[in-house]
Structure 1
Amino acid sequence: MFEHILYQVSESTCTITLNRPEVYNAINDKLSYELQDAFKKASMDEAVRVVVLTGAGKGFCSGQDLKAIAGLQIASLAETVRARYNPIITAMRHMPKPIICRLNGIAAGAGCSLALACDIIVASEEASLAEIFIGIGLVMDSGSSYFLPRLVGSAKAFELSTMGKKVPATEAQAMGLVNKTVPTSDLDKAVAQYVHYYAAAPTKTVGLMKRLLNLSFHSSLEEMLEYEALYQEQAGRTQDNKEGIQAFMEKRKPNFKGN
């Protein structure tokens, strides 16, 4: 079905692998549209309760494939961003399921944005992130201007974006860009720990929490209190809520089904 990504579903987990390792998974037209379709497919698949995003080979994603557009006359960069990149980031943030980034190597430019758009980032010690747009005289896109200051603060975000500094994974964890950094040999094990947790979690409730946290970036306290009330009503109607209460009463571990 896909040419430049690998799409696999196994035991409630969908793994989306960017598969252009020869160019560090740089994004061309085909890959950008395939990613849009992959996230839509995972979002609609009720069997999927957690998504893992990673890259094949040594890199996660090196951003836009500049060689693919070299010499081309692009009528509008704005329309390119709107058509190719914005729908990917929107689909990721609107997906009512957790997305775990398995950061196996460099995440640069739009690739860095892809990583930051995930809910959890587990990084190899050999991985790094870089907002390299400045190097070709362009501004950040694909959501980096939104995510970066919220993760590291305005001053640090300005430094990282205007200087294009490569941030090693361990440093990225210290400044709050990634959740966990492990030796490369332990990366799959560390990702699996998160996957196993979320695959057994109350999926609809996790999705509602994700939506609440998205809203909190640009809402007042009063608005958030009302959103909490509305989403608590929805969470309270799930079968997982009933199972959680029953398990508490019976002093056992709940068996959440994601519905």
Structure 2
Amino acid sequence: MSDPIRTELNDGVLTVTLARAEKKNAITQAMYAALAEATERAQTDAAVRVLVFKAEGDSFSAGNDIADFIAIGTSGGGQMLDAPVFRFLKSLAELDKPAVAAVRGRAVGIGVTLLLHCDLVVVAEDALLSTPFVNLALAPEAASSMLLPMVMGHQRAFEMFALGEPIDGKTAFAWGLANRCVPAAEVDAVADGLVAKLAARAPNSIRKTKRLMRDAEQIWALMQREGEAFGSQLSSPEAMEAFMAFSQKRAPDFSKAG
């Protein structure tokens, strides 16, 4: 079985590839551990100037692996802050080197909120991006409850969270979630061009610029508060109904929730 997370360092660029195409690059806790390790390496390794997120197959990421969620939820949900996903989120909050994402196909949940921690995002015109946390009776994560409204405004962000309906790449670009929107076949080439420009810039100047633009402590503190809300929802009857409905390919019934 191939490694679902592949990393490659070349000319100062650490490329992290989601390589679980047969599962639409749904992310397991083991994959989060590998993502955390790669992001921590990007932060501490002097040879790394730029971190790049890419994906194999027809989806950037289907989001969190539902089976992992069900396992955590049925065990009480209290493990969330100790789970590998939070090691990854902390590494994103603390990263002061530039990060770039190349997005094709579907990006769901963490597949979208990850982009809020990237400094340059190239998205395919026909990509579909969604944050269906409420559809799964969960709560936002990755500091997205603050960062998404900052990017696109409260009303648009609330619609993405509360309705969970996808927006295409052109809309994502228009709403400020991406720097470039191009045909799917051009995504990697355009991203690679931007990465090369970043890698050629003065590295310490870029790091200081990014640190001035982001409050890492505030972002990490919010991630932890979101994690508490997420964890409490994960073990709730609402979430169990949502997960059951998802596995049964039906709409969830929240009529008795309150």
Give the TM-score, by structure 1 length: 0.78
Question: 2:201 — aligned with what?
Answer: 201
Question: 1:53 — aligned with what?
Answer: 53
Q: CA deviation at 1:96?
A: 2.3
Give the whole-Å Cα distance in 2 for the aligned partners of 1:146 and 1:217.
Answer: 13
Q: How many residue pairs are counted as aligned between the two chains? A: 217
Unaligned runs of 5+ in 2: 219-258
Q: CA deviation at 1:216?
A: 10
Q: CA deviation at 1:160?
A: 1.2
Give the whole-Å Cα distance in 2 for the aligned partners of 1:213 and 1:156.
Answer: 23
1:25 and 2:41 aligned: no
Moved over 4 A (4+): 68-73
Which of the pair has the greater relative contact order for Cα pairs under 8 Å at 6+ separation?
Answer: 2
1:121 alignment partner AA: V
**What is the Cα-based RMSD across aligned positions, in Å?**
2.1
| Matched ranges for 1:69-218 at <5 A | 69-70=69-70, 74-215=74-215
Give the whole-Å Cα distance in 1 for the aligned partners of 2:196 and 2:123.
Answer: 17
Distance 1:73 1:175, change over 3 A: closer
Question: 2:64 — aligned with what?
Answer: 64
1:168 alignment partner AA: D
2:64 alignment partner AA: Q
Distance 1:187 1:131, change over 3 A: same
CA-to-partner distance for each residue in 1:45-98, whole Å, 9 max, x for gaps?
211111110111111111111134546653343532553323322212322210
Give the TM-score, by structure 2 length: 0.78
Q: Percent identity?
A: 29
Give the conservation status (yes or no) of the 8 Å contact 1:117–1:143.
no
CA-to-partner distance for each residue in 1:179-236, whole Å, 9 max, x for gaps?
1100112112211221111110011111111111113997xxxxxxxxxxxxxxxxxx
CA-to-partner distance for each residue in 1:5-55, whole Å, 9 max, x for gaps?
010011111100011111111111110111111111122221111111011
Give the whole-Å Cα distance in 2 for the aligned partners of 1:21 and 1:94.
Answer: 28
Give the conservation status (yes or no) of the 8 Å contact 1:98–1:207.
yes
Give the conservation status (yes or no) of the 8 Å contact 2:80–2:86.
no
For 2:34, what is the secondary structure of its paired residue? helix
Question: 1:16 — aligned with what?
Answer: 16
Distance 1:175 1:101, change over 3 A: same
For 2:3, what is the secondary structure of its paired residue? coil
For 1:27, what is the secondary structure of its paired residue? coil
Distance 1:159 1:195, change over 3 A: same
For 2:16, what is the secondary structure of its paired residue? strand
Give the conservation status (yes or no) of the 8 Å contact 2:30–2:84.
no
Give the conservation status (yes or no) of the 8 Å contact 2:72–2:80.
no
